[in-house]
Chains A and B, each alone.
Chain A
Amino acid sequence: MSEAREFKYIGQSTIRPDGYDKVTGRAAYGADLTLPGMIWGRILRSPHAHANILSIDTTKAEAHPDVLAVATYADFVELQSKSVAASEGAADVLDLARNCLADDKALYHGHAIAAIAARTERAAKDALSLIEVKYELLPPVMDVEDAMKDDAPVLHADMFTAGYEERPSKASNIAVRTEMKMGDIDAGFAEADVIIEREFRTPTAHQGYIEPHACTVRYDEDGQSMIWCSTQGHFDVRTSTAKVLGMDLGKLKVIASEIGGGFGGKTVVYLEPVALVLSKKSGRPVKMVMERDEVFIATGPTSAAKLRAKIGAKKDGTITACQGWMAYEAGAFKGSPMMPGVMTMFTPYECANVTVEGFDVVVNKSKSAAYRAPGAPQAEYAAEMVVNELAEALGMDPIDLRLKNAAKAGTQTIYGPKLKTVGLVECLEAAKNSPHYQSAIAEGNGRGIAAGFWFNIGGQSSVTVNMNPDGTGTIVEGSPDIGGSRASMQMMAAEVLGIAPSNLNPIIADTETLPYSASTGGSRTTFATGMAVIEASESVVAQVKQRAAAVWNVTAEQVDYADGVASNTAGDDKLTLAEVCKSAEQTGGQISGMANINARGAGPSFAVHICDVFVDQDTGKVDVIRYTAIQDAGKAIHPAYVEGQLQGGAVQGIGWALNEEYIFDENGVMENQGFLDYRIPLASDLPMIETIVVEVPNAFHPYGVRGVGETGIIPPLATVGWAVGKAIDRKVEELPCSPPRVLALIQNG
């Protein structure tokens, strides 16, 4: 349990340990490993959004002199439908396999149909055209509303909606229906003086990581295999790949490369099982690297959604009822982040009467994957927009309305437990007192405010801290570093050991070096792996005390340890950590601490954002003039990294709100498959994102840490959406606020 305390190293923005490698180009990413004898793999992808696959003839491709292997779904083991950890929630291993290579149906434009491995990358790409596929075209279903209609073409004949008391008799594109409720919603609305009800839509949006998916693999004759890949979770890559190929976990070693962005999109396998099949069949190492268009059409964007939000309040601003409805596009296979959307939608507010209904719906788009607080941005966008409209209707300041109803310790959540100590009130107060909020809104500009909530998670982390004879050490952990976590691990270990962080080298171990560690995601790493680092470091301190006690002929309880020095409380003796490590051979062997934990007590992180925009009324272009992100970090281990997470989340949310969407033609083919036309914000598009880090410690972490990586993407959708609406005096009900859409609102409003 954490208490307020002074830290020696925690709270400083130290030089990142991976900095030099990254700025000099030394850092090795997913596409950077080359092995002797390596060949290249490429994927043949469906040109159709929905089609039965009648036949796949690989004869001509296999006869090509440069082609060394061809793979289809038949090369995977026979699988049954079963859950496996992957991305948000549990995925179905059968769906995972059918997404890596299509079985009997092409379910989206870009769906992998077959794969080739050839001597050169060019040869592999050229040989794809030798694979002959016969398709029977089917009408594509590209929209969640169309997919939910009774007469919609059905993607999976064996999908019957789960969540109704009686199992439906007719197959459907609705995989799951769920409902959460508390209190009496009708009574709640009956006592409201003001009721606001709106419908909203959000688009399919991609995580936009700069580094495409890439892997190099080798399958050896005895079945012992290696995968090098860009991933947020190499242990889960091992699990998924082993399941799809019917391998023992012990036969598969996975090494996580440096990663050029993931944001949730790299918690799923796409290439690895296919590459391993090609390696097994060819007897050669295989490298596969996606091109940019493949990343857009064939990985996992987040769900487009249709949402309805209804909120009621008394004249004094007390919220009496909240009702939500949402339908999320899962893509070609079930498993959208609808459930987190249901759970988070109204969680920032204390309200006794809440009902939220959600639907997980398949459509002919690539299977959705996690994207930073998956499911929450869409749902909380709808909720925050109606909260803002409620404030307007009541004549209340939007922050004051939120303060009046803010969730706090003891607030009952719709998903079950009561909240522990949280920092929403502190974030709202910081927002209200911020220079941005205190500034006047420039003539013609619009200002938006929104809050955001995300649970954060704990889970399994494994760490060893190995001390060297000179008193330096290595922190061996299993969490790929997607946002600077190595620096934080270094600092937490330094705090316990009482030595400078620069004396500790944090490394990411492969799956053979450490026990299982859960993926880096869910804002878990600084919290959970940090707890394991602290525990492992405390084990080192305990061993140091024992060694010193043995040398001094006292008990370990008579030895104090502080600032890297062991002291004999029964005498004047002192030994530094380095001195104890130097004599480790003589006192019993090298000193190493270990912790394998299932971390619990992750503390939620709340955020509040403020945005001012200007809208060009002739073109519909929106300029963000000023943006402030306020978020509760619990305790900022490395403040600069925390600010970076707040800024990064804000920028991604702004892009989602302003410009990012998948555009499909009438055949379900994506038209904007590159960064030129899929417009993510550039540094030149936005002002500096101002940040205010609030610290309301999480009592369950030794240093008070709350994860911060995800919450920051949630508020921007409503913050920007509301600001644009104020600037043009219209109601914004559909994102993104791209120039054509904004212009249409201005002209047709």
Chain B
Amino acid sequence: MATVIFSSELQKLTGEEQTSVKARIYKDIIAELITRYSSLEEENLMKMAIAIDGEIVHNPLLEVIDETSELHFLYRISGG
């Protein structure tokens, strides 16, 4: 199962440092997290970037997630 590691900000909403999610596609991971943690909102998660095994990407809804993957939600940088 993929491991989702929560930032210190998200830990305030989930009460946990990390969790495991059994889902093949990224959009299903989002759906599972929202179901599991009532304080998490889809809109807020979708505004964030996601690092999948260290590779940062924006909204990869159809991304196939490996069972051994590690996911981090992080603030979406735009730069200047």
Contact = CB atoms under 8 A, between A and B. Distances in A.
Interface of A: 83, 85, 87-90, 163, 165, 178-182, 207, 263-265, 267, 339-340, 343, 369-374, 415-420, 454-459, 519, 521-524, 598, 600-602, 700, 710
A647 to B, nearest CB: 18
B56 A522 contact: no
A456 B74 CA distance: 14
Interface string B28-69: 000000000000000000010001011111111000000000
Nearest to A374: B80
Contacts of A524: 79
Contact of A373 (B54, B56, B73, B79): B79
Contact of A87 (B58, B70, B75, B78): B78
Contact of B9 (A178, A263, A340): A178
Given A416-B74, A417-B51, A374 B79 contact: yes
Nearest to B10: A416
Interface residues of B, number: 25
B76 A89 contact: yes
* Dominant SS among interface residues on chain A: loop
B8 interface: yes
B65 to A, nearest CB: 14
B55 to A, nearest CB: 5
Given A88-B78, A263-B80, A601 B73 contact: no
A340 B79 CA distance: 9
A180 B10 CA distance: 10
B40 to A, nearest CB: 15
A417 B80 contact: no
Given A416-B51, A417-B72, A600-B60, A88 B5 contact: no
Contacts of A420: 54-55
A180 B12 CA distance: 11
The 6 nearest A-B residue pairs measured at CB? A264-B80, A522-B79, A370-B80, A416-B72, A417-B51, A600-B57
Contacts of B12: 165
Given A87-B80, A416-B7, A339 B56 contact: no
A179 B8 contact: yes
B75 A710 contact: no
Contacts of B47: 83, 90
B80 A267 contact: yes
B79 A417 contact: no
A181 B17 CA distance: 12
B4 to A, nearest CB: 10
Given A88-B79, A264-B80, A370-B79, 12 more contacts: A83-B47, A89-B76, A179-B8, A182-B8, A343-B77, A370-B80, A371-B80, A416-B5, A420-B54, A522-B77, A523-B79, A601-B55
